[in-house]
Amino acid sequence: MRRKLIAGNWKMNGLLASGRGLARDLAAQLGDQPPACEFLVCPPFHLLVPVAEEIAGSPVLLGAQDCHSAEKGAHTGDVSAAMLADLGCSHVILGHSERRADHGESNSLVRAKAEAAFGAALVPVICIGETEDQRQAGEALAVVGAQIAGSLPQAEGEFVVAYEPVWAIGSGRTPTRDDVGDVHGHIRTLLCDRLGDARGRAIRILYGGSVKAANAGELLGIDQVDGALVGGASLEASEFRAIGTACA
Ligand code: PGA
């Protein structure tokens, strides 16, 4: 059985006081009952330590939004996987479409980062997804397949896949149930082909893109959807909690 994972991607939001406040609210709302799922929060770098302090003792897990592919060295402004692990992170989001677009991240760079994450015992959450043009051209499955082939780590280790159609991120639009089911089913087949049935079936595949409390029940009920990567709706503790409640 794959336990569902609800991951919050805060993106570039929050200053010290507001970030601490949100983490405190999350720890209070998610802390006192065994949730039907795992909760992960991924604040921006400057909030990792204060958020770690606020969620200490709660079941909420801590992740980052990116790391460098190298272990250490002359990479001004970058952060290594070991640095994240040192701060208490268990996960790191990699290859988000905003990084692929804004920073030109390629599949091979995402793969190298995922292998660096393994080196620091972090679980990479590897993001893939088609653009609107690609979907309209009927290329969604092919694009996702190429991203799986190119971005997944070669080494052994636990990872999570997040399917996020680029056009659904922050837009309030989501694919149909059938479209989500088709892509997730395709990803599952590719994972089993690549890793063998037992390992392929153990990998969690999250859906991301305009997930909120109001649509979480429907999206999380689709076959092969093992959780959600949540942007905007993760910035409010009660909304994030309600998405987790939809797992039950
Ligand atoms: P959204 O973002 O929930 O605001 O659409 C999701 C994501 O980019 O991970």
Q: Tens of pLDDT along the chain (248 residues)?
A: 899 999 999 999 999 999 999 999 999 998 776 668 999 999 999 999 999 999 999 999 999 999 999 999 999 999 999 999 999 999 999 999 999 999 999 999 999 999 999 999 999 999 999 999 999 999 999 999 999 999 999 999 999 999 999 999 999 999 999 999 999 999 999 999 999 999 999 999 999 999 999 999 999 999 999 999 999 999 999 999 999 999 88
**Residue 46 catalytic?**
no
Q: What is the token pair recorded at 237? A: 């503790």
Domains of the chain, earliest start first: 5-245 (3.20.20.70)
Q: Is 232 in the pocket of ligand 1 (CB under 6 A)?
A: yes
In testing the pocket of ligand 1, which one of 166, 210, 219, 240 has its CB within 8 Å of the most ligand atoms? 210
Q: Which amino acid is at 106?
A: S
pLDDT of residue 31: 79
pTM: 0.98
**Residue 96 catalytic?**
yes
Specify whether the CB–CB gap between 144 and 179 falls below 8 A. no
**Which atom of ligand 1 is closest in space to residue 93's alpha carbon?**
9
Closest by alpha carbon to 59, among 24, 27, 87, 91? Answer: 27
Helices 177-195 + 140-151 axis angle, to 10: 30
Q: Which of 38, 54, 130, 164 is catalytic?
A: 164
pLDDT of residue 34: 64
The contacts of residue 196 (CB under 8 Å, 6+ apart) are none
Half-sphere exposure of 167 (CA within 13 A, CB side): 12
* Rounded Cα–Cα distance for residues 244 and 242 (Å): 5
Specify whether the CB–CB gap between 20 and 39 falls below 8 A. no
* Rounded Cα–Cα distance for residues 97 and 106 (Å): 10
pLDDT of residue 148: 98
Q: Is 48 in the pocket of ligand 1 (CB under 6 A)?
A: no
Q: Is 9 in the pocket of ligand 1 (CB under 6 A)?
A: yes
